[in-house]
Amino acid sequence: MSWVRVWIHMVFSTKNREPFLTDGIRQKVFSHIMENAKKKEIRLAIVNGYTDHAHCLLALNKDITVAKAAQLIKGESAFWINKQGLTNQKFMWQDDYWAVSVGERDFKTVFDYIKNQEEHHRKKSFAEEYESMLKQWG
């Protein structure tokens, strides 16, 4: 029997970085993403973010690629947001995403970073955060 645990830190933003994920709906959306991931057998340790983006810390299993996980998480959640009428306009995630592997020893650091997104973004915008990630990870 195969056993695989590859942790991925994935970040994706709303289309055109529209601030759709307001305080009123953000936790509803992230709770739904957690529930859906469980149904799709994606091991999602945490999801959090801010008004225009989301961070996920997920473990890939032997049957799923990073691209497939992104498709399942983003596609289904956008469909659900629109079906629930949570936004005044059609909700879409941007097509692209950022993903990097996370070692077991860095798991807690990344988990805590994702957990504290609201506090983090009081000091730094998503654009600044994204540029920092690109510099750090090449």
Query: pLDDT per residue over 71-92, tens digit each?
Result: 999 999 999 999 999 999 999 9
Of 90, 73, 68, the closest CA to residue 81 belongs to 90
pTM exceeds cut of 0.95:
no
pLDDT at 118: 80
DSSP per residue, 46-104: EEEEETTEEEEEEEE-TT--HHHHHHHHHHHHHHHHHHHT-SSS---B-S--EEEEE-G
The answer to whether 51 touches 19, Cβ cutoff 8 Å, is yes
Domain boundaries, the chain: 6-133
pLDDT band at residue 26 using 50, 70 and 90 as cut-offs: very high
Class of domain 6-133: alpha beta
Percent of the chain with pLDDT over 70: 88
pLDDT value at 97 more than 70: yes
SS3 138: coil
Q: How many helices (H) and strands (E) does the chain have?
A: 5, 4
Average pLDDT, the chain: 90
Q: What is the pLDDT of residues 27-60, one digit of tens each?
A: 999 999 999 999 998 999 999 999 999 999 999 8
The answer to whether 48 touches 115, Cβ cutoff 8 Å, is yes
Burial class from Cβ neighbours inside 10 Å (0-12, 13-18, 19+) for residue 85 reads exposed
pLDDT at 21: 96
Percent of the chain with pLDDT over 90: 74
* DSSP letter, residue 22: -
pLDDT band at residue 127 using 50, 70 and 90 as cut-offs: low
